[in-house]
Structure 1
Amino acid sequence: MDFQSAEKKAKDLQNLLNQYAYEYYVLDQPSVPDAEYDRLLRELIEIEEQFPELQTPDSPTQRVGGEILTMFNKVQHAIPMLSLGNAFNEDDLRDFDRRVRQGVGDNVSYVCELKIDGLAVSLIYEDGLLIRGATRGDGTTGEDITSNLRTIRSLPIRLIEKVSLEVRGEAFMPKKSFEALNKARTEREEEPFANPRNAAAGSLRQLDPKIAASRNLDVFLYGIANVGDTGIRAHSEGLDYLEKLGFKRIKSAEKWIASRVLLTM
């Protein structure tokens, strides 16, 4: 295969594999069997090995880097990552609503989302390409865990649109992954993780990305740090925009909440 043919073939395979991964990990609607995905991935690996210059940062072959880190670099959040407040009863909820209305007026509506118990992360994209992922840390300073976040299959390395923005979400360990991990640890006579949250946090702070990749983590995105000139004026619009870019967001909350009685404010 000559270089020109290889270049076209590699690009076609990259696009196709990224589409298949999006269907499988984000939409939960796989269109091809796993064996077909693996066959195409092996074909792409062979082309990139023959022509290393065709290997791009957003290639499906680059999900797991081979380099083991010695430490995580500190990163400063341009916009602080604030923690969530708690409401333990109806009075707390009404007090929250009162403070909101004092701040912005009575023209208020709410978006209800299920809380995912994992690890808050910040993701920075430039021209649609993921360039950095970091932990929340203390809210102003976090740790660069880009190589580990890249192993999460539902997280796009390149967005559908070439936009530059910072998005935030929650990386977590699904129940099946947690059970499989603890089963393997028990068989090795290692201490099992106490809960999925600790398991997710521990996985994303592994210095070897291959270990993080083996934990089969997932991520939901729920916010844009700075909407800038996007024209977004409501949180619900931001969620729709994240979905449009190719991110995985929580959509089951609407059905879950609709089946329960909400407090009338």
Structure 2
Amino acid sequence: MAMETPEGAQSRIAELEKSIIRHQDLYYNGKPEISDAEFDSLWDELSVLAPSSPVLAKVGEDAADGFPKARHVLPMGSQAKAADSDEFIAWCAKVRLAEYIVEHKLDGASLELQYEAGLLCRAVTRGDGIVGDDITQNARRMSGVPASLPEAWSGAVRGEVVMSRATHRQWFQDKANCRNAANGLMKRKDGSGAERLEVICYDVAPSGMYDEVPGGLFVSSPEPPFDDELSKLAWLRRAGFIVLEALSFVEPFEVVDYRARVMDSRESLPYDIDGLVVKARMVDIDDMKRARPERQVAFKFPLEEATTTLLDVEWSESGATYTPVGIVEPVRLAGTTVRRASLANTNTLRGMGLRIGSRVVIVKR
């Protein structure tokens, strides 16, 4: 097999960086063209070819024209992923935690609620992880957003904006799924429909906890109850927020077994979830400041598949990069009607021997 030349490697790195930036933008703005699995494949390849690429340190950015900007109090990075049990066990061997805190991974949009002296002052979308859009007026209309707290506390609460399956069925069947419907409503200029959304919370930090200390060599440890994931959830519940259920496990295989049980019952849940979030119990401030914290992982569910027919092939252009996109007979998959699917690249297209009329398996996570 011929070795790739340095020029060829650099060309591929540039191609991967452009693709990742493009698909991050599409995903965070509710217009994904490829599955999570395909995106993860691009990410993993770039990580091997160029581990120091600045693209790997960049958080995907949502955008909503016309809203003022605001800085986050809490770090809002993204999560590393484990696609199957083998990858999860490998992550466990790497981090070696004494205890694993496990929560449902809600399929929604991140939101930070900022409080000053116990009063809600801002609600900020994820944005680029540092600065987001201030959608406070819309957030005030959502369930699970207290206008005031029982105490004069200042800090930030992180949650997920979601739409229940019941609400989607009753009011928004024209939208592909709950996530797409919620993403559109939370950023409407007139706020219409925001009252049909809920914010479910899972993280909290007092003001200053993640601030840099000028001239400091070490980051101070967080104080109770904000140093412990279970204590944080208890605090949130007492303060009037809707919170995720969290379970504690000691052995990795217990988490794998729990994931299997959740997969069997997830269709009965009121909200869409696409996996589990597994994290250390004790909060590590330095780790939370990473673009992808190492002491937590998204333990995803297996890929969902559907069979359909290839009707045509179009080409998606991004600069000098052309990606083949299959136009397929519409098929329902993971709550979405799929009409287009990425064919990755021309090598994949040739290697699969695809022809118009071929029966194909569509995969989506």
Residue 240 (structure 2) pairs with residue 246 (structure 1): yes
Q: The residue matched to 1:115 in structure 2 has which SS?
A: strand
Offset of 1:90 from its aligned partner? 1.7
Q: Distance in 2 between matches of 1:113 and 1:231?
A: 18
Residue 58 (structure 2) pairs with residue 77 (structure 1): no
Task: Tell me, yes or no, if the aligned pair for 2:124 and 2:136 is still in contact at 8 Å.
Answer: yes
Q: Superposition pairs for residues 123-202 of structure 1, below 5 Å?
A: 123-183=113-173, 192-202=174-184
Task: Tell me, yes or no, if the aligned pair for 2:204 and 2:226 is still in contact at 8 Å.
Answer: no
Letter matched to residue 196 of structure 1: C
Letter matched to residue 76 of structure 1: R
Q: The residue matched to 1:171 in structure 2 has which SS?
A: strand
| Equivalent residue number for residue 199 of structure 2 | 219
Q: The residue matched to 2:235 in structure 1 has which SS?
A: helix
TM-score, length-scaled by structure 1: 0.60
Offset of 1:209 from its aligned partner? 1.9
- May I ask how many residue pairs the two structures share in their alignment? 177
Task: Tell me, yes or no, if the aligned pair for 1:134 and 1:146 is still in contact at 8 Å.
Answer: yes
Offset of 1:132 from its aligned partner? 0.3
Offset of 1:70 from its aligned partner? 8.3
Q: Distance in 2 between matches of 1:168 and 1:247?
A: 11
Residue deviations 1:191-214, cap 9 Å, x none? x2111101111000100023423x
| Equivalent residue number for residue 9 of structure 2 | none
Residue 257 (structure 2) pairs with residue 261 (structure 1): yes
Offset of 1:161 from its aligned partner? 1.9
| Equivalent residue number for residue 91 of structure 2 | 96
Letter matched to residue 169 of structure 1: G
Task: Tell me, yes or no, if the aligned pair for 1:123 and 1:132 is still in contact at 8 Å.
Answer: yes
Residue deviations 1:189-238, cap 9 Å, x none? xxx2111101111000100023423xx11111000145654443311111
| Equivalent residue number for residue 82 of structure 2 | 87
Q: Distance in 1 between matches of 2:94 and 2:112?
A: 27
Residue deviations 1:129-163, cap 9 Å, x none? 11000110121221001111110132211112221
Task: State the percentage of identical aligned residues.
Answer: 34
> Mind listing any 5+ residue stretches in structure 1 that lack a counterpart?
1-68, 184-191
| Equivalent residue number for residue 118 of structure 1 | 108
| Equivalent residue number for residue 62 of structure 1 | none
Q: Distance in 1 between matches of 2:103 and 2:65?
A: 37
* Greater strand fraction, Structure 1 or Structure 2: 2
Cα root mean square deviation, aligned: 2.6
C-alpha distance 254-211 of structure 1, shift in aligned 2 (>3 A): same
Q: The residue matched to 1:111 in structure 2 has which SS?
A: strand
Task: Tell me, yes or no, if the aligned pair for 2:109 and 2:183 is still in contact at 8 Å.
Answer: yes
| Equivalent residue number for residue 210 of structure 1 | 192
Task: Tell me, yes or no, if the aligned pair for 2:233 and 2:243 is still in contact at 8 Å.
Answer: yes
> Mind listing any 5+ residue stretches in structure 2 that lack a counterpart?
1-63, 210-221, 249-253, 260-365
Comparing 74-83 with 192-201, which one deviates more in the overlay?
A: 74-83
Q: The residue matched to 2:80 in structure 1 has which SS?
A: coil
Task: Tell me, yes or no, if the aligned pair for 2:225 and 2:232 is still in contact at 8 Å.
Answer: no
Letter matched to residue 208 of structure 1: D
Q: Distance in 1 between matches of 2:255 and 2:229?
A: 22
| Equivalent residue number for residue 12 of structure 1 | none
C-alpha distance 210-153 of structure 1, shift in aligned 2 (>3 A): same
Q: Distance in 2 between matches of 1:84 and 1:259?
A: 18
Offset of 1:98 from its aligned partner? 2.6
Letter matched to residue 115 of structure 2: Y
Letter matched to residue 261 of structure 1: D
Q: Distance in 1 between matches of 2:180 and 2:164?
A: 12
C-alpha distance 70-81 of structure 1, shift in aligned 2 (>3 A): closer
| Equivalent residue number for residue 232 of structure 1 | 226
Q: The residue matched to 1:194 in structure 2 has which SS?
A: coil
TM-score, length-scaled by structure 2: 0.45
Q: Distance in 1 between matches of 2:205 and 2:94?
A: 22
